[in-house]
Chains A and B, each alone.
Chain A
Amino acid sequence: MTERRDISIKVPVLARVEGEGALDIEVRDGKIEQLNLRIFEPPRLFEKFLEGRSYNEVADIVARICGICPVAYQMSAVHAIEQVFECDPGPWVRDMRRLLYCGEWLESHGLHVHLLALPDYFGFNSVAEMAKQFPDEVRRGLALQGIGNEIIRFFGGRSVHPIGVRVGGFYKAPKAADAAALLQKVQQQLTHAEALLRWSASLDLPDSTQDFVSVATRHAGEYAMNEGRIVSDAGHDLASENFENYFKEHQAPHSTALHCHLDDRPYLVGPLARLNLNHDRLPAAIKSLLHECGIVFPDRNMFHSIIARSVEIYYGLYEATRILENYVVPGLSYVEAIPKAGIGFGCTEAPRGLLWHRYELDAAGRIVQATIVPPTSQNQARIEEDLHNELLAFGLEHDDAALRLRAEMVIRNYDPCISCSTHFLDLRVQRS
């Protein structure tokens, strides 16, 4: 008979306040008695900060919310405001926004796959340790992340956060020569991305097939990034303005973050959910590569999130190539928006999932009220559900270190936006 013991595991994922645990698991008599994930959410702070600000300040302000995905916050915001102003920026801006989003997906996924997820699967404590044995693979990750950053820099802006985006388009159009140079660099990375895709498909990943609902935006003719209806594999098909009628946020007693449910149950957003719902929107060349690698969607194994990210890395480069090959300098890089009062909604696909914004504006275009629902808050209930299922399946008889590692691996699949409010170095000096 397996020995039953009491377990208390605290994973300090949130170092913002020293010693504060972000994941607490209590096991008594062989059962998980309590499993709480706590995540601090800076977007809530910004909702108040935005009130009274002019519409033309919003893109710059929301870019500060997240150091990893400033573009996502800008995209959801400008689409929401343009909806209020009935402003259509046209096909050039539309394409450039897709290109910019490709940059952010590449940057975020490149970092997560190589530097955070892969060390887990090879049994290394960190990417620095992994780099001793797999230096080329780690360099490949840095290069894929780097090309993402280059795409973002292509649209101007400064190193602290991108400022090239405005309501109606972009402040400046990049030069044709810069587009040609960037195209060459993007194309060079396609080989890396294909190698990564084949490699990720060959990894011996844990089997953890679970029942969950996937949610993503879906577009009639393309793999959705900036536009589309909100769909789920439970049959939902909603306009972004109907989000609040179906997705309900509530305060979990153990967390300052809000939990979000769809029809009273947790759901998944992010790369795996996107591919589960939109794999048929991938270009034929990518579908054929997936087929060759034996990659099949829909996929209900959360550990295959690393494969989903690799697919989106490849797609990001493929789509960036397409857009840059057709690049022309426009007469104007934006259309002038005329402020008016109203309520607008923006729903786009951040690297880690659906990011929903709602803004109420007055006649002068000032923000009266802002609501931002980030992907991590949407995934939080799903992460807890996954941890519960996965730890039981893994076996509570494992020692604390093994359970803790497994819990971390489960959480990492979601690439949660845990500490975007803070980055400081939590230093422990080791003296001999």
Chain B
Amino acid sequence: MLKVIGIGSPFGDDQVGLLLIEALRQAEQLQPYLKSDIELLAVDRPGSGLLSLFEGASKVVIIDAVVTGASSGQLHCWSDLAVLESSGSFLSSHGFGLAQALALGRQLGGLPEQLFVFGIEIDPGAGGMDISPRLQQKMPALTVQIIALLELYRSET
């Protein structure tokens, strides 16, 4: 079973992880696999709660919004988690994000055997309740790219 976890918040481009899970749920190509081979999950800012979602899963894909300076809508794929080092300080319980959760999981031995992170480059200035038109335009292509990757990971043992 491949577990796919989309992370996001309901604001601006930050919701891209949640929207992509919804798009995957509707995707025809994935329908045969959604009952037995692929589990889709959308979670709003889980923080360290992400670690409990890994329990019992050996193969996990995380889809999350990232800011690296690349152009909006670019898909990054990481399997080497050491690259995910956050330099941000976090003062509130809201700031405990993906990088911190993965670092903690690694330390406590709580990460799945295979873990991939799909980072979607977003425009951090895109606030409000809606995704930016620029990223919205890229959503169909992103969905296709991600479906292809999921089909590949699903078939790999």
Contact = CB atoms under 8 A, between A and B. Distances in A.
Interface of A: 11-13, 15-18, 42, 45, 49, 64, 66-68, 107-108, 111-112, 115-116, 126-129, 131-132, 135, 138-139, 142, 145-146, 149, 159-161, 408, 411-412, 415-430
Nearest to A63: B44
B99 A425 contact: yes
Contacts of A42: 11
Contacts of A146: 49, 52
A161 B108 contact: no
Interface residues of B, number: 55
A160 B18 contact: yes
B157 interface: no
A139 B108 contact: yes
Interface string B92-116: 1111111110011011100000000
A139 B107 CA distance: 11
Interface of B: 7-14, 18, 41-49, 51-52, 64-68, 83-100, 103-104, 106-108, 119, 122, 124-125, 127-129
Contacts of A430: 83, 85
A418 B103 contact: no
Nearest to A159: B43
29 contacts: A11-B89, A12-B88, A16-B125, A18-B67, A45-B11, A66-B94, A67-B45, A107-B49, A108-B93, A111-B96, A115-B104, A116-B93, A116-B96, A126-B103, A142-B48, A146-B52, A149-B52, A161-B44, A416-B91, A419-B92, A420-B45, A422-B11, A423-B45, A423-B65, A425-B65, A425-B99, A426-B87, A427-B119, A428-B85
B98 A425 contact: yes
Contacts of B48: 111, 115, 142, 145
B95 A418 contact: yes
Contacts of B86: 425-428
Please indicate which of the listed interface residues B14, B43, B44, B86 has the most CB atoms of chain A within 10 Å of its own CB: B44
Contacts of B89: 11-13, 408
A416 B88 CA distance: 16
Contacts of A129: 107
A11 B96 CA distance: 16
Nearest to B110: A142
